[in-house]
Structure 1
C-alpha cells in the first residue's frame, strides 16, 4: 500500500471514530431523557396520583403561556401519542399538530417531544 492508501484509510478510520462519538453523544442524550422520565414516573407512583397529576400540570395554570390547543397537544404528548394519533384525536391535520409542536417547543424552550414532556412534568412539581 502506498501513502495515498494510508491517508485514505486514516481518513476512513477518523470518520468512523467521529461517527461513533456522535452516536455516543446522541445515545447519552436519549438515556438522560429516559432517566428523567423514569425518575418522574417513580415520583408519580410514590405520590399515588398517576396521570391525574400530569393532566393538572397541562390543563391547570402551571404552564399559562400555552394556548388551550397547545395544552391539549402537550397532554396528548404526555400520553405517548404520535402526531397522527394527536391529529385524529383533536380533529386537526398532522401539519397543524406539527405547527402546535413547533410553538410548544419554542414556548417551553425545548428542542424535542421528550424534553417538552419532561418540562411539563417538572412544572407540576413547582
Structure 2
C-alpha cells in the first residue's frame, strides 16, 4: 500500500514540475514580447524627439500593402489592439484580423511585434 501511495505522490510531483516548466516557458515568452514592445515604445519616443515631432510611424514604407493595411499597421505600431483598431476604423474585429494576416504575409513576419519592428525599421 505504501508503495502505491509513494508512486502516486511521485507522479503528482512530476506532473506539477512539468506544469511549472511549461508555465515558465510561457512566462518567458510573454516577458520577451513585453520587452520588445517596451523597446519599440522607447524607439518611437526617441525617433519623434529626434525629428522634433510626436508623430509615430504609420507603416507607409511598404508599397505592397493596401491603404487600409497601412492604416491598420499604423495603429498596430502605436500599440492598438484589434478591438481598438476596429473601433477607430469603423470595421469589425474579424476584418482587422484579416488585414493583420495579410500584413504578416506581405511583410514576411509571424506576429504583431515583428510587424511593428519592421515598420519602425522601414522609417530609419
With the length of structure 1 as denominator, give the TM-score of the two structures.
0.73
Q: Is the 8 A contact 1:87 1:97 kept in 2?
A: yes
- 1:51 is displaced (CA, Å) by 5.0
Count of residues in Structure 1 that have an aligned counterpart in Structure 2:
121
Q: Which has the larger radius of gyration?
A: 2
Q: Is the 8 A contact 1:70 1:100 kept in 2?
A: yes
**Runs of 5+ consecutive residues of structure 2 not aligned to the other structure:** none
Q: Secondary structure at the match of 2:26?
A: helix
Structure 1 Cα separation of the partners of residues 5 and 39 of structure 2:
51
With the length of structure 2 as denominator, give the TM-score of the two structures.
0.74
Q: Secondary structure at the match of 1:52?
A: coil
User: Do structure 1's residue 92 and structure 2's residue 91 form an aligned pair?
Assistant: yes
CA RMSD of aligned residues (A): 2.5
Mapping for residues 1-126 of structure 1, pairs under 5 Å: 2-47=2-47, 48=49, 49=51, 52-55=55-58, 58-59=59-60, 61=61, 63-125=62-124
Which 4+ stretches in 1 moved above 4 angstroms?
none
Structure 2 Cα separation of the partners of residues 84 and 17 of structure 1:
36
In 2 relative to 1, CA 19–119 (structure 1 residues): closer, same or farther, beyond 3 Å? Answer: farther
Q: Is the 8 A contact 2:64 2:106 kept in 1?
A: yes
Q: Deviations over 1:61-116 (max 9, x none)?
A: 2x333222222111112222222222222222221111112222333343332332
